[in-house]
Amino acid sequence: MTDRPVDPTAGPEATDLPEGEPTTAPPPGGSGFGAAAGEMANETEVEEQVAGDAVAGDDTGTAEERPDLDAGGDSDLDTEEDQLAAMKGSLADLTNDLQRLQAEYANYRKRVDRDRQMVAESAAYKALTPVIEVLDTIDRAKEHGELEGGFKAVADQLERVVASAGLVRFGEPGDAFDPTFHEALSHLGADAEVQVTTVKHVAKGGYRMGDRVVRAAQVLVVDPADA
């Protein structure tokens, strides 16, 4: 018997078999292609089942089955409504505050303007009151015809200046007597030509600044005949 060379890639079964005997084929249930295909099919079925369970697990259910979620949505809606109501209340408060500030500022402006006008009138009153005596002297000079020449021009200019400053003369014969503007020095008796107590003679003219009487006119008056 001659020795046969040994194939290094052959398994131990091939070396142990006697020469001339065929090699036995692997059984069908071994590690061949059929077993691998069966295992792949089983793995595919398991994966499909796992995927189906996962999809079924993603279903969150109906409204009855999800009371917590619906309750959370209602709570968020209530919170938003409360916030909106609070914002509207804050806006109303700020609007009221702004309107009150505007009214206070308008009243402040009116008060300041009134006070400023009163200060100006008081200053003019203090400055012009002494001039009234000078104007009385000019009136007496006019009555006696002594106001001539350059002195007359000065007197006329002075009267214009005080009139532009707001000092207005009043009180003329024939005016109805008004105790607000007139001071009766004497009653001259009855006069059939008058219907009410009337100024007959002006001793000193009266002066006013705006609605303020600086000095009442000093007058002599007559009464109606049927008084």
The three-point CA angle 67-76-92 to 5° equals 150
What the block records as the tokens of 222 is 């007559």
Identity at 227, one-letter amino acid code: A
Q: Which residue has the tokens 């007058």?
A: 219
Residues whose CB is less than 8 angstroms from the CB of residue 165 and which lie 6 or more positions away in sequence, other chains included = 124, 127, 128
Domains assigned to the chain = 167-227 (2.30.22.10)
- The DSSP secondary structure of 85-151, one letter per residue, reads HHHHHHHHHHHHHHHHHHHHHHHHHHHHHHHHHHHHHHHHHHHHHHHHHHHHHHHHHHHTT---HHH
Q: What confidence score (pLDDT) does residue 82 get?
A: 83
pTM of structure: 0.51
pLDDT of 17-76, one tens digit each? 444 444 444 444 444 444 554 555 555 555 555 455 544 444 444 444 454 545 555 667
DSSP H helices in 8-66 = 12-16, 33-58
pLDDT profile of the chain (227 residues), mean per 10: 46 44 46 50 54 48 49 68 86 91 94 90 86 90 82 89 90 93 92 91 91 91 84
